Each structure stands twice: as structure tokens, then as C-alpha cells.
């Protein structure tokens, strides 16, 4: 079928060896594609096109440039300060000029002589990647001078030219839909009659999305929101549990040295076409795939096992910068992440690129549901949870991102423009690939799940019903209880300009049970989301589980309320199962089971108190220390089945950070971390971190061992490099105790 | 940051070592996911769940089964013949029972004693993959007996039971939305009071999609269409060029031994969740990704280079079966494919699974356009084509598939149900992954591009404008001509029940220029497809290129018609560039350039004749031998620019197949191939193939060398195994001459 190479090589192959595009043999463009494309499409703005220094006109005999009286560039001024101030990119500490598209920037060119607008023709070429000429918008020409003809280039950049003597001041406005990334700049002068003389200006400009530009698809009208969602490099990520919301500081750190380049590195590694980088829709979708390591060697390796010895524990990170820098330096995925780490890093990348973006937290988030609207919890006839059947997982909380953009691809009108869900945490289901979104929050609210991307999945995360099912001996099951309000109980994000939580629940849902809500659920199911339609009998006894807020390591009391709504005697057999769960809702191990029989007179209410001792659960704790209690009961008189569930999050101690001395730009400030092991267990392998804003660095410390009752103090010094408010974030992490954070807000004098 | 394993292993890890789900450590379910999911989700129906032979009831003391008087299965009859006849799966030569969902099949169970409907409880368990219990529809129970309670299982299978003495006849109707794949069957008997006794019936049934079942999402009402699009294992794929349509036979071969299993193997390798395999939408999407090798080690490696020495030339294949078998045996991608091979194999897989599917050919198919509606052809001022700028490619033809299904995910009504485009040929753009579709043909026609999946891309393939642009010395360009009718000129598929071409153009487009057509284009652009809006001046001279149909190896005459529409004298400078192109429209090399100056009086028409000699192009021919002629002209009097293009396909000789003797099932028939090298060049490395239908095998032959004028005859014998019509397909392939086919239709007596 195939023959060996000893045979004479066929003529076509000989041709191939003299091909014009040898780069077609480079990785990413296999030889097999030769007949498929004229030239490989650009996928990296880091690669450079080597345009010739002299390009003879066709027909003209190339005698080399006639330099007599020809125009030469003496001096170039990019006006970095004015431009970056005007473009709000001055916080980036970067050698290159960073601007935003759709907005004018200026540069000054000084020539060897006066530029004659009538006889001279010079142009600036903005070039991105390899084979830039064959790309749709990777090669932009800007003609200098008034006689610039109207050209129908795919991507128009507006030019203004002002001559004063030998200096020309050029104002250039990149089109509001140009490619986001690095452009290399050439100055090209026409040397008649022979050809073009090209001067490499040896500089790249970085062009970002522009939330300040009304024509840009990421335009956001409110200045405070733009400051928060694009410019703010510090944030708060909410976690914990619905009835006990906690929060952690997160340092997005987009201004730290190297982070912007790391973000472009991620884009280049993602293989998204340069031509596609004008579209915020495609950029956010690809980034959501790249932030997780799966199927594309992306940024972060997920780990939910509780064992992080081969990397950094997800809860140990204090911000995104360290992760992105480690990734761009090593080129290999960073260990480890859970949802808030994915969300924090994606937020940094998108804010870096200029896309308004925020981290949101959904409480009781339904997962792995294949876009179906039911979470099944199976219980056996004896009231214990059936763990083989129960596989739908519900997370105490789940973090994802919202990015702000237009969605012309969805509807003709703008009704679904605005915030879009993008989720970088790898799910089991998204067309077989680990990416999710962007999907319009407004469309989720309306149950319009027919639009790209992954709308059904996100809808299920906030709208599923929790259904308790009892399995009989034949393996048949019947629904005993249904809870339609448990999932998506709260949806929070950091408020604009402050650290408090803002509820954005109303963006995602109508009020539970309201006519619109009912209509939306119907609509969603008609788009193919399977929903549990089974009915369950109304019971005449109610049960409820109540727990106080609990300090990790303390014993506490769980209250089980039983209410007989009937007018007859009722006897109830109850089973309470106590388990330790991951924040993903997955059961780690059950440590206690209580069986009680209670009899109640007509309309009587009783409270059962169950004591939970510290040593019953401490040995089993994982990660973010949550306990789950499930109570199932049976009414003897009528065989009615009762069910109730409650998750209790254990509060962990806070890390205290103290400031010594005054804070002034350029001067050392010293921060002290204090922590006491209040538990009667040894804390082993303790990792401590501190991170400051902007260019302030990361500090780490490792303790083998902290004895019960022992305290530690650790002092580090930082040098603030910009005036105004700032935050130092600290974390403590060890296998037995995670999610310990603290932060210190300071104001540094100029 | 991480410490070594010599340190004491943390307690959580010790726990991990005693985990209940050791399979979580198997590939595909990393240890890191332990906290993320209760159990890994099933992704293969080839794996088997080992359910216990005896399952004690909770609480009951397991003393082992009390066998006294317990029910035992003596005999099982699956009625393979009746069932497969009724389900139209009898053409599959397979040991297992193959049925279609939503349709009743019967089985007979003979017990050791009479089954007492009141006291005995037995059930059939249909189990798919591992951890079947935790899947939504991978574990189906069918209770035998009238007292079967109404269970709200996710997936309901209807049962009828009839007892006659010790034998029970069971009629089972799998739900019309059940998972497509292999189910393993257990018979389970309740042994009171202790538990369940399970008997492995040691057989799997294969369940397919059912185009005959009105409840199935692939339901197709017309019987002739079902026969063609689901059952027919032989087809025709159209290729060639708009003005010169050619066709080639293709053997889908879904009934060949091993092919059905190979298709399931592809699904399992794709990693699509078992739970997702009920949805034809997700199945077709994943399959489109799997048929090309890129980013998932799928079935076929693409190669357009003209060099196929390391594998099989795309044009050498005679059908899908050989490819699928090679893939499932080796587990590694098969070399090589171009669009019709991808389409042929995808067609086989989908028909095998029961999805109505057909191969369609789009002539002048726009590609790599990022879903934009413009194909730019750049010419320099001197009229020659600018190959650096011209990177949009337009294929002479492109093959993809249409699959017939409902799309509840798109709209609430059924307006976009029906044929859906699925394309397995790897494109440069589809969310960064190599998959395309399903996308509704009706939505394409209406320009409703907001629905999943990849609608914009397909719309561009059939609707783009061809725009000639002239680049001036400054690099600025202006549009000189625009052709809105060239792309998507013809769309053909094999007609139902015959081998003729059926035009399905009207399914994709309204009549060019009609009001609806204009409206649709507007709508499409409003969904974000960029379209060239530039105007070009009306010229007062028309040029047109005309060529006859040409035999490869012959010289011929190209006619250039020039028409002066003005009432004045016109002088036109013309440049005709002649190039060899791939069928992808990519320029391989230009072999001739003619410059002429013509003057025409008022309203005068002239014809220029250009002779093309065989030896001018023969050395340059690649693959499917197409020549492209581009003519650009300039009118001296008014500098108007004229442009015209024409593609000419060279006709290759046909392989003649002859039949000797009568054809009768079970008897040898012999087929003779005859071929003569009519060219005055040596044909080297010649591969010949023959393939028969059904179980008739593949035959191959290799000739080092065929001298000019030399003839070959090759005789092989086949044994037809089913009565009725059949086809033997033959192909000849060598580097200098490809796409040589022949076929022989026969009728075999019973």
C-alpha cells in the first residue's frame, strides 16, 4: 500500500523540496497542508515577519535605492507618557507603548529634511506575526500625507498629519475592531522610480480592547465600572456557604512586570488565529479553554483530591501573577487549581487585554448535570444515602467569570448584550472540550438557551431542582421530596469601588415561583433540558435541620425540628447521617449516624438536639471543611417519607497582618503576620505567603511543624511603588488546615 | 513550595489509598478528580460493569441465596431473525442482536418452573459501561410481571409479559430517547428475605437510532428516503468542477464484518459521555471531530500535498470500510484523506448508528474565510495575480455531510429541523477545535446564523463574494470587480434510489438577487459576517474566458472573448496567467503568461485564441488536474480595469471493469479490470484496487511501471453473499495520474 523511500522520489515531491513557503514545514503547519492553504495562517504575534529592506517595483529594474535627496528618519518619539495616560495604560510597567484600539495616539517623526506633502510619499506599516500580508488585518498601512486615497482595507486606521519644519506629528486612531496584540512598526518611503525603502522602527505597540470607546464591542459606559472591571488589580472572591458567606482577597496583579506578556503568551499558545483576535467573543472562549490545562496544555492543573504535595495547594495562592509568570516561564501547566483559582486567573487575563471582567460566585451550584435540570439524591429504604446511585454533584459554591461585551452573533437587536458567563473550570461536558461560554446572562434569565455557547449548562448550574428519591428493593425509585429553591441560592460579586458583596441574583433569575419564573423554566425545558416531572406526595410532618455557625475544632449542637401538621398522633423514625464533604459537595466520608424514633401529638412540634464532638469530625476534615447532614424519616402511621439536608461550613481562624511604621512610595514598609495554632492537633508542612500590589513582590515561608497552642510571627518588608490605596494579602496553608487568609489595607503617601 | 515524598505522608493521602473507587486512579479519571466527582462518568460501552452475583438486602443477614424453589433460567431465545427483520438490521452480519430504539423486540425466557406472577419477582437489567448505576440512563431495569410499579426512571422502557407454562415471552420497547450503544443483559430474581440473585445472560444487545420511530429525534417519514439514507451501503460522490461535474462511486460498506463495531470504537475513543449518546446532536458533533485526526487522534490524517508515499493516496480509496477497520485494529490515525474521504467515512458511521445521512458536494466552496463573506483575489498593477496577498482559498468543490434530525435546542417551533450540515474535514476555524456542525440547512437559507453550531462558517462556504482587488505601489488596494454568483454555484447529492445527481441548491439559497436573497445577505451580515461593501466602477468593456472540456494529456484552445460596449474606440492591454491548481483552488505553479493588446471599434467583439500545449502543463499536474486561467486587462482610454477567471478540469480516462460468467449468491464471479496508458509518459508506482459490496472483500495490485501505450488486465474473483443489485468499485492511482475510477453493477441471483 505504501512503498519505501528507496524508490525514485516522485516529481511532485521534488517540487515540494523547492517550495516558496518553507515555513509550511514548521510545526503547526504540516507539509500535508501545502495544497490546502496558500500560506499558514498567523497564530502568534510574537513571531516577526521579515519584510525586505528594499522592495523594487514590478517591472522597474532594481538598481538599489536612489538615495539622493531621499527621506530618512532621524528621530522617533512615541510620547509614551501622554499616550499611556490618555489610554489609561500607565499602570503597566512596560518598555513598549501600550494603547487601546479605537482611540487616537500620537507619535512624532523627525526627518533629515522637510517632508514635502506633494512630492514625498511615506507610510507607516503595522505588522503582526508571520505572513502578515496574507492575513486580513495583520498588515495595516497608514499613509502619511493628505493625498492618502480612500482605500478599502479590511481594517481602517485614521491618520492626521501635522508638519512643523522637519518634524511631523502623526495622530493615528486604530480601528475599533482591529486585532488585539503586538504590532511591529516600519516606516516605508517610496523611492521613485525604483521601489520602496523600508526602515524598521524596532518597536512594537501593544493594542488592547477599549471599554472607553463606544465603537469597541467591549464598550462600557459607566466610568466607575470601567475603573473596577478593567483597571482594578485587586479583588475579593466570595466562597463559604449560602448561610455563611466567606470571602478571600485575590491579587489580580495585571500590572506586575511580565504579566501582560504572559497573557499574550497564553493567547499565542492557544493557537487562536490572529485574525480572530479582533473578536472578544472568540478570544474569551479560547481563553476559557486555555486557563485549564486539559486538552491544550493550558495554564492550570485542577486538583480536588486534598493532596497537593506535588504542587501548590489551590488555597495557598494569593493572586494570579505568580501563576501566570510561572506558566509563561516554564511553558508547562501550573499545579494546582480549583474554581476560584481558574476564575482569578481568567479575570487577570481578560482585564489585562482590556475586557471588562469580574469574578462571580454561585452558591449551591449544580454541576456535571449534562445541562439537565435535576440533581438526584438517592436514599435507601432505611433512610441512609445511596452513594452508588447518587452521582450528580452540587457545589457549596462555584466561581466563574462574567465578561462584558456585545453579542451581534446572537440576536439582531441588543437584548442579550452585556455580561456574559465565561467559565475556565474544566467541566465534564462542553461539546467534549473543556471550555465554557461566553453565554449571555440575560439569555439565561429568559431561558433562551438556543444561542452559543453552553447556555444550557450554565442555566442548569443556577436553576436545577434537588430531588430526593427512594430506591426500593427492586431498584425502582420514587420521588419523596423536591427542592426547587436550593440551587443557585445566592449569586454574588464584589461591588464596584468597595469590598462588600453585591447580589446579582436578579440578573440570572426571576423571583422563584413568579409567573415569569415558571414561564422561563418551561421555555428552558422546551429547549431540551430534561427536568424531573415526577410528583411527590405532600407529607403531613415537616422536618428541618438547623446548625449554628461553627468554629473548626469546636464541638457543637445540631438541631432537628420536627413538626406534625396533622390533627392525629404521628410516630416518626428518623436517620441522621453526618458526613464530611468537599466544597464540591462530594462525600468524603460519613463519620456519624443517629437513629431516633419520635412521637408527636396533633399539631405538635419537637426539637431534637444532636451533639457533634470535635474529635468525631476533625480527623476527617478535607480542604474547606464542610459538613453535610442528611435526615430521612418515615411516618409509621402512613409510610410517608420525609427528607431534609443541611451543609455546615466550619469557620477557620483568620491570619492577622500588622503594619509597622509609615507607608511612603519608594520607602520600605514592614508587615508582620501573626498566627496561633488554637487546635489541639499538630499542624504539619505549613506554607505561608504574602503578596503586595503592583511591583511589590511575593514572599514565602515554610514551617515543618506548629505545635498545639504555639504561635508564629513572620515579618517581611515591601516597597510600595505607587501612591494611594493598596493591599497586602497573606495566606496560610497546610494539609490539616486550609483557606486561612488575612489582608492589610494601607495608604501610601507620594 | 512542594516537598519530597520522604516526608511523612499527610493523613488525607493515607485515606486516598483506601478509597472505595480505585478505578478513579485509572487513566481518564485522574486522582486529582477525587473530590470533584463521586465516580468517573462512563465514556465507553465496551467496558463492562461487574455487578455482584448476589446482592443482599440492607439489614438482612446475608446467608447466601435460599435456593429452595427459587427461579432459575433454563433457556433464552433472542429471536434474532424476527427481531432484526422487524428492525431492518438483518443486513449486519453480527453475532449480537442489533435493534433500533423506540421499537419493540421480543425474547423468550424458559424457567425451571412456572413463573408465578403474584409471588415471583424477576427483572431484566440492561447495563452499559462502568459505574452504570451512577449514570442517568446507563442502567435500565425492566420488571417482569404485571405488578411492575410506575417508576419514574429517567429512561422508561415498556414491557409486555406473556406466560405459557414455564416459558415467558417478553416484549420490550426501549424508550425512543435511550442511549445508543451496547447494553449488557442480566436476569435478576428476588430471593426473599435475603436479597437479589443475578444471572449474567452473557449477551449484549446493540441499540441504534431509529428513523422509523416517530418519537425518535432522527425520525424520517419517507420510506424510500430511509432506505437510501440509512440502509444503502453504496453511493456516489460528486466532484470535478461546476461546468464539468464528475462523480465517483463510494462503498460505504456499513454491513462489512467489523464495521459496526469500528463505529462504536470511534465513539468510545472520542470520549463522549455515555449519557450524551442519546442525543443525535452531540453524537454527530463529536463524530465530526473524531473523523479527522487533529486534536483527538481521530480516524483520518489529511494530506493535500500531492505526496502520499507514506500512506494511501486519498483518491485511491474505494470505500470507508477498509479505513474504519484499519483504524479500529491499529488504534492510530489512517493516512490519507481529503474532503470526500472524510465525508464518505462520516457517512458510514452515521448510517451505521441509524442516523439518516448523505454526502453533498458544494461547487466553488469558499474556505478558511473565518466566516467572512469575501474571497479576495489580489492582482498587481501589471495584471498578474499577487500571490502573497491572496490567501483566501476557494475549492473547486468541497464535500460534507447532511444528517437528518430534530433541533429542539435551536427554536421552540420545528422550523429549523431536518437536514443539518456536518463537516469532518478539518477547517482552520471552528472555535479553535476541528469540528463543524450540526448546523441547520434551513437556518443557512434564512441567514439565521445565531444558532449552534458553526452556522456562519457554512453560510460563507456557499454565499461568499469573489472580489478582485488591485494593489497599487503604496500597498493600497481598490476593488476592480466583484462576482456574487461564483461561490456555491451548484450543490449536489445522489438522488434517492438512483445514481443521478439531485440539485439541493434551493435548500441552501434563494434565487440570486431575488428580494429574499438580498434580505438574507443583510441579515447574515448583521450577525457579524464581514462583507465587502466597496463599489467598483462599471466598465464599458467585458472580457470572458471560455474553454472546452479537455482530456488530460491533450492540447487545447482557450478562448478569450472581448466586448466593447461603448460607442468609441477602445484599446485593451490583457494579461492571461495560466496555472495548475489543487482542487482546493490553491495555486501550485504558473506555467504560462500571455500578454496581448487588442483594439476594438465601437460595439465591436473580438475573440482571442490561446493554445495550451500538453507538455506545457503535464509536468506540473497535481492530484485532480485542474488548470486555472486568470485574465486581467486595462483599457488605455479610461484606465478601467477588467478581470475574469476560469477553472478547467482535465478529464482522466475511466477504468473499465468487465464481468465473466453468471452471478449467483455463494458462487464465484470474476471481474476483470482493463486500463491502457494513453499518455506519452511513464506511469510509475501504480496502485489498483477493487472492492465489492457486503462481505465481498478488497483486492489490491501494485505495478511499478506502465509504459506509454501499454495496457494491463487484472482479474479477481468475488463471492456475492446476498441476492439483488450490487456494485464492484475499482480505482487506479499513481503520482502522475489520480482519480481514475470505474465500477461494475451486477445483479446476483438467489
For B525-550, the pLDDT digits (tens) are: 888 778 877 777 788 899 999 888 88
Residue B147 contacts A, CB cutoff 8 Å: no
pLDDT band at B64 (very low <50, low <70, confident <90, very high): low
Query: Has A734 been annotated as catalytic?
Result: no
Report the pLDDT value the prediction gives residue A81, as an integer from 0 to 100: 96
pTM: 0.90
Closest residue of chain B to A308, computed from CA coordinates: B2
Bridge partner list, A643: A632
8 A C-beta contact, residue A263 and residue A272: no
* Among the partner residues A15, A131, A432, nearest to B286 by beta-carbon distance: A432
For B211-241, the pLDDT digits (tens) are: 999 999 999 999 999 999 999 999 999 998 8
CA distance linking residue A380 with residue A575, whole number of Å: 11
Report the pLDDT value the prediction gives residue B146, as an integer from 0 to 100: 65
Q: Which has more confidence, B310 or A707?
A: A707
8 A C-beta contact, residue B409 and residue B280: no
C-beta atoms of B276 and A429 within 8 A? yes
CA distance linking residue B306 with residue B293, whole number of Å: 19
DSSP characters over A72-102: -EEEEE--HHHHHHHTT-TTS--SSEEEETT
Cell of B391: 490567501
A657 to chain B, closest Cα gap in Å = 22
Report the pLDDT value the prediction gives residue A60, as an integer from 0 to 100: 59
| HSE of A365, CA atoms in CB hemisphere, 13 A | 28
**Which chain A positions have a beta carbon within 8 Å of B33's beta carbon?**
302, 304-305
Closest CA to B441 of B451, B432, B431, B433: B451
C-beta atoms of B409 and A456 within 8 A? yes
Residues 6+ apart with CB under 8 A from A350: A284, A287, A357, A401, A403, A422
Report the pLDDT value the prediction gives residue A355, as an integer from 0 to 100: 98
CA distance linking residue B358 with residue B374, whole number of Å: 28
Closest CA to A407 of A394, A417, A398, A397: A417
Residue A136 contacts B, CB cutoff 8 Å: yes
Q: What is the mean pLDDT of residues B256-260?
A: 95
Q: Which has more confidence, B282 or A661?
A: B282
Closest residue of chain B to A704, computed from CA coordinates: B7
Q: Is B538 exposed, middle or buried (0-12, 13-18, 19+ CB in 10 A)?
A: exposed
Cis geometry, peptide bond prior to residue A437 (ω within 30 degrees of 0): no
* Among the partner residues B36, B271, B389, nearest to A586 by beta-carbon distance: B36
Closest residue of chain A to B308, computed from CA coordinates: A2
What are the helix (H) ranges across A536-682? 614-617
CA B533 from centroid of its chain's CA atoms: 35
Closest residue of chain A to B380, computed from CA coordinates: A58
Residue B497 contacts A, CB cutoff 8 Å: no
Residue A47 contacts B, CB cutoff 8 Å: no
Torsion over CA of A100, A101, A103 and A104, rounded to 10 degrees?
A: 90
Please state whether beta strands B97-100 and B195-208 pair in parallel, antiparallel, or not at all (unpaired). Answer: parallel
Cell of B278: 442519546
- Report B:524-543 residues touching A (Cβ under 8 A): 526-528, 530, 532-534
- Report B:583-612 residues touching A (Cβ under 8 A): 584, 586-589
CA distance linking residue B623 with residue B338, whole number of Å: 11
CA distance linking residue B572 with residue B637, whole number of Å: 9
Q: Which has more confidence, B147 or B331?
A: B331
Residues 6+ apart with CB under 8 A from B639: none
A701: left (phi over 0), alpha (psi -120 to 50) or beta: beta
For B649-707, the pLDDT digits (tens) are: 888 888 999 998 888 988 888 999 999 999 888 999 999 999 987 777 789 999 999 99
Whole-angstrom CA distances from B634 to B381, B382, B390, B567, B572 are: 9, 9, 20, 18, 6
**Which chain A positions have a beta carbon within 8 Å of B434's beta carbon?**
none
CA distance linking residue A193 with residue A196, whole number of Å: 9
A281 to chain B, closest Cα gap in Å = 10
For B495-524, the pLDDT digits (tens) are: 999 999 999 999 999 998 899 999 999 999
Report the pLDDT value the prediction gives residue B55, as an integer from 0 to 100: 84
Return the residue matching grid coordinates 500597498. B475
8 A C-beta contact, residue A626 and residue A648: yes
Number of H helices, E strands in chain A: 12, 38
Bridge partner list, A97: A205
Torsion over CA of B105, B110, B111 and B117, rounded to 10 degrees?
A: 50
B240: left (phi over 0), alpha (psi -120 to 50) or beta: left
Residue B330 contacts A, CB cutoff 8 Å: no
Residue B646 contacts A, CB cutoff 8 Å: no
Residue A332 contacts B, CB cutoff 8 Å: no
Residue B11 contacts A, CB cutoff 8 Å: yes
How high does pLDDT run on average in chain B?
86
Which of B305, B427, B628 is most worth mutating to test chain A (most A CB atoms within 10 A of its CB)?
B305
pLDDT band at B17 (very low <50, low <70, confident <90, very high): very low
Number of neighbouring beta carbons within 10 Å of residue A601: 11
8 A C-beta contact, residue A739 and residue A624: yes
B151 to chain A, closest Cα gap in Å = 6
Residues 6+ apart with CB under 8 A from B237: B247, B248, B249, B250, B340, B343, B344, B359, B361, B399, B494
Closest residue of chain B to A194, computed from CA coordinates: B473
Number of A to B CB contacts under 8 A, please give it.
Answer: 337
Report the pLDDT value the prediction gives residue B27, as an integer from 0 to 100: 35
From A87, A184, A367, A398, the catalytic residue: A398
Residue B66 above 70 pLDDT? no
Say whether A508 sits in a helix, a strand or coil.
Answer: helix
Residue segments in chain A with a per-residue pLDDT below the cut of 70: 1-34, 36-38, 59-69, 146-155, 368-371, 428-433, 624
Please state whether beta strands B550-551 and B641-651 pair in parallel, antiparallel, or not at all (unpaired). Answer: parallel
Residue A312 contacts B, CB cutoff 8 Å: yes
CA distance linking residue B401 with residue A208, whole number of Å: 40
Cell of B124: 431484566
A111 to chain B, closest Cα gap in Å = 20
C-beta atoms of A152 and B387 within 8 A? no
Q: Which has more confidence, B621 or A60?
A: B621
To which H or E segment does residue B85 belong?
helix B80-87
Residue B196 above 80 pLDDT? yes
C-beta atoms of B370 and A275 within 8 A? yes
Cis geometry, peptide bond prior to residue B193 (ω within 30 degrees of 0): yes
Which range, A234-243, B46-55, B112-121, is most confident? A234-243
Cα Rg for chain B, rounded, in angstroms?
Answer: 31
Query: Has B423 been annotated as catalytic?
Result: yes
Residue B389 contacts A, CB cutoff 8 Å: yes
Residue A687 contacts B, CB cutoff 8 Å: yes
From A339, A357, A399, A734, the catalytic residue: A339
Which range, B96-105, B238-247, B551-560, is most confident? B96-105
Say whether B269 sits in a helix, a strand or coil.
Answer: helix
Q: What is the mean pLDDT of residues B102-131?
A: 91
Return the residue matching grid coordinates 456542525. B437
Which of A30, A35, A150, A705 is most worth mutating to test chain B (most B CB atoms within 10 A of its CB)?
A35
Residue B387 contacts A, CB cutoff 8 Å: yes
For B141-154, the pLDDT digits (tens) are: 888 876 554 454 54
Q: Is A510 exposed, middle or buried (0-12, 13-18, 19+ CB in 10 A)?
A: middle
Cell of B432: 479553535
B476 to chain A, closest Cα gap in Å = 6
CA B306 from centroid of its chain's CA atoms: 22
A565 to chain B, closest Cα gap in Å = 28
8 A C-beta contact, residue B663 and residue B725: no
From B87, B184, B367, B398, the catalytic residue: B398
Whole-angstrom CA distances from A161 to A167, A186, A338, A685, B208 are: 10, 17, 52, 64, 69
* Among the partner residues A34, A408, A589, nearest to B527 by beta-carbon distance: A408
**Which domains does chain A carry?**
25-208 (2.60.40.10), 223-526 (3.90.260.10), 541-651 (2.60.40.10), 656-748 (2.60.40.10)
Closest residue of chain B to A476, computed from CA coordinates: B151
Cell of A541: 410532618
What sign has the CA pseudo-torsion B700, B701, B706, B710?
A: negative
* Among the partner residues A3, A32, A58, nearest to B380 by beta-carbon distance: A58
Return the residue matching grid coordinates 470520549. B271
**Phi, psi for B677 (deg, rounded to 5):** -80, 95
Closest CA to B527 of A415, A410, A282, A404: A410
CA distance linking residue A566 with residue A541, whole number of Å: 7
Return the residue matching grid coordinates 512630492. A119
C-beta atoms of B431 and A389 within 8 A? no
Report the pLDDT value the prediction gives residue A12, as an integer from 0 to 100: 34
Residue B515 contacts A, CB cutoff 8 Å: no
Amino acid at each position: 500500500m505504501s512503498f519505501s523511500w528507496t524508490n525514485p522520489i516522485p516529481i511532485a515531491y521534488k517540487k515540494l523540496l523547492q517550495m516558496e513557503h518553507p515555513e509550511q514545514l514548521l510545526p503547526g503547519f504540516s507539509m500535508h497542508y501545502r495544497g490546502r492553504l496558500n500560506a499558514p495562517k498567523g497564530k502568534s504575534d510574537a513571531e516577526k515577519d521579515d519584510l525586505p529592506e528594499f522592495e523594487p517595483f514590478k517591472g522597474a529594474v532594481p538598481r538599489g535605492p536612489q538615495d539622493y535627496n531621499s527621506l530618512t528618519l532621524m528621530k522617533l518619539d512615541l510620547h509614551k507618557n501622554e499616550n499611556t495616560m490618555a489610554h489609561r495604560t500607565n499602570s503597566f510597567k512596560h518598555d513598549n507603548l501600550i494603547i487601546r484600539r479605537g482611540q487616537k495616539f500620537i507619535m512624532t517623526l523627525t526627518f533629515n529634511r522637510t517632508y514635502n506633502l506633494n512630492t514625498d510619499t511615506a507610510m507607516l506599516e503595522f505588522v503582526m506575526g508571520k505572513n502578515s500580508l496574507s492575513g486580513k488585518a495583520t498588515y495595516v498601512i497608514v499613509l502619511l500625507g493628505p493625498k492618502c486615497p480612500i482605500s478599502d482595507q479590511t481594517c481602517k486606521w485614521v491618520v492626521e498629519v501635522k508638519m512643523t519644519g522637519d518634524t511631523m506629528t502623526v495622530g493615528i486612531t486604530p480601528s475599533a475592531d482591529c486585532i488585539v496584540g503586538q504590532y511591529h512598526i516600519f516606516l516605508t518611503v517610496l523611492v521613485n522610480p525604483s521601489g520602496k525603502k523600508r526602515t524598521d522602527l524596532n518597536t512594537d505597540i501593544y493594542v488592547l480592547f477599549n471599554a472607553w470607546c463606544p465603537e469597541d464591542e467591549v464598550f462600557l459606559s459607566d466610568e466607575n465600572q470601567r475603573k473596577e472591571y478593567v483597571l482594578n488589580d485587586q479583588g475579593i472572591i466570595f466562597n463559604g456557604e449560602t448561610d455563611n458567606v466567606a470571602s478571600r482577597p485575590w491579587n489580580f496583579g495585571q500590572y506586575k512586570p511580565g504579566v501582560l506578556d504572559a497573557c499574550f503568551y497564553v493567547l499565542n499558545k492557544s493557537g487562536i488565529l490572529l485574525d480572530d483576535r479582533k473578536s472578544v467573543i472568540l478570544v474569551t472562549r479560547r481563553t476559557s479553554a486555555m486557563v485549564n490545562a486539559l486538552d491544550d496544555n493550558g495554564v492550570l492543573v485542577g486538583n480536588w483530591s486534598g493532596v497537593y504535595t506535588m504542587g501548590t495547594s489551590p488555597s495557598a495562592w494569593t493572586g494570579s501573577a505568580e501563576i501566570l509568570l510561572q506558566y509563561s516561564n516554564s511553558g508547562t501547566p501550573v499545579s494546582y487549581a480549583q474554581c476560584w483559582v481558574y476564575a482569578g486567573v481568567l479575570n487577570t487575563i481578560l482585564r489585562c487585554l482590556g475586557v471588562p471582567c469580574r469574578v462571580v460566585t454561585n452558591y449551591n451550584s449544580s454541576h456535571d448535570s449534562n445541562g439537565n435540570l435535576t440533581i438526584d439524591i438517592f436514599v435507601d429504604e432505611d433512610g441512609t444515602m445511596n452513594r452508588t446511585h447518587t452521582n450528580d454533584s452540587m457545589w457549596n459554591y462555584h466561581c466563574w467569570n462574567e465578561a462584558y461585551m456585545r453579542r451581534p452573533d446572537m440576536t439582531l437587536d441588543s437584548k442579550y448584550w452585556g455580561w456574559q458567563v465565561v467559565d475556565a473550570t474544566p467541566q465534564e461536558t462542553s461539546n467534549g472540550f473543556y471550555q465554557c461560554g461566553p453565554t449571555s446572562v440575560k439569555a439565561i434569565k429568559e431561558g433562551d438557551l438556543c444561542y452559543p455557547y453552553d447556555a444550557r449548562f450554565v442555566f442548569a448550574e443556577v436553576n436545577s431542582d434537588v430531588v430526593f428519591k427512594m430506591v426500593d428493593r427492586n431498584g425502582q425509585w420514587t420521588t419523596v421530596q423536591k427542592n426547587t429553591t436550593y440551587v443557585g441560592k445566592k449569586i454574588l460579586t464584589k461591588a464596584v469601588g468597595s469590598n462588600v458583596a453585591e447580589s446579582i441574583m436578579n440578573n440570572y433569575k426571576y423571583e422563584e415561583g413568579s409567573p415569569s419564573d415558571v414561564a422561563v423554566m418551561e421555555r428552558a425545558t422546551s429547549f431540551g433540558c430534561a427536568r424531573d416531572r415526577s410528583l411527590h406526595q405532600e407529607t403531613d410532618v415537616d422536618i428541618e435541620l438547623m446548625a449554628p455557625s461553627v468554629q473548626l475544632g469546636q464541638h457543637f449542637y445540631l438541631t432537628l425540628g420536627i413538626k406534625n401538621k396533622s390533627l392525629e398522633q404521628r410516630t416518626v423514625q428518623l436517620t441522621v447521617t453526618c458526613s464530611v464533604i468537599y466544597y464540591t459537595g462530594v462525600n468524603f466520608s460519613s463519620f456519624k449516624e443517629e437513629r431516633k424514633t419520635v412521637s408527636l401529638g396533633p399539631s405538635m412540634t419537637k426539637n431534637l438536639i444532636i451533639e457533634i464532638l470535635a474529635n468525631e469530625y476533625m480527623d476527617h476534615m478535607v480542604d474547606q471543611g464542610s459538613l453535610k447532614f442528611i435526615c430521612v424519616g418515615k411516618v409509621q402511621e402512613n409510610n410517608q417519607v420525609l427528607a431534609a439536608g443541611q451543609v455546615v461550613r466550619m469557620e477557620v481562624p483568620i491570619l492577622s497582618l500588622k503594619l509597622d511604621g509609615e507607608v511612603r512610595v519608594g520607602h520600605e514598609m514592614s508587615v508582620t503576620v501573626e498566627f496561633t495554632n488554637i487546635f489541639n492537633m499538630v499542624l504539619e508542612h505549613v506554607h505561608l505567603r504574602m503578596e503586595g500590589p503592583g511591583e511589590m513582590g511575593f514572599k514565602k515561608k515554610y514551617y515543618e511543624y506548629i505545635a498545639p497552642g504555639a504561635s508564629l510571627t513572620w515579618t517581611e518588608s515591601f516597597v510600595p511603588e505607587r501612591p494611594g490605596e493598596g493591599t497586602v494579602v497573606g495566606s496560610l496553608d497546610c494539609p490539616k488546615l486550609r483557606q486561612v487568609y488575612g489582608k492589610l489595607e494601607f495608604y501610601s503617601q507620594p
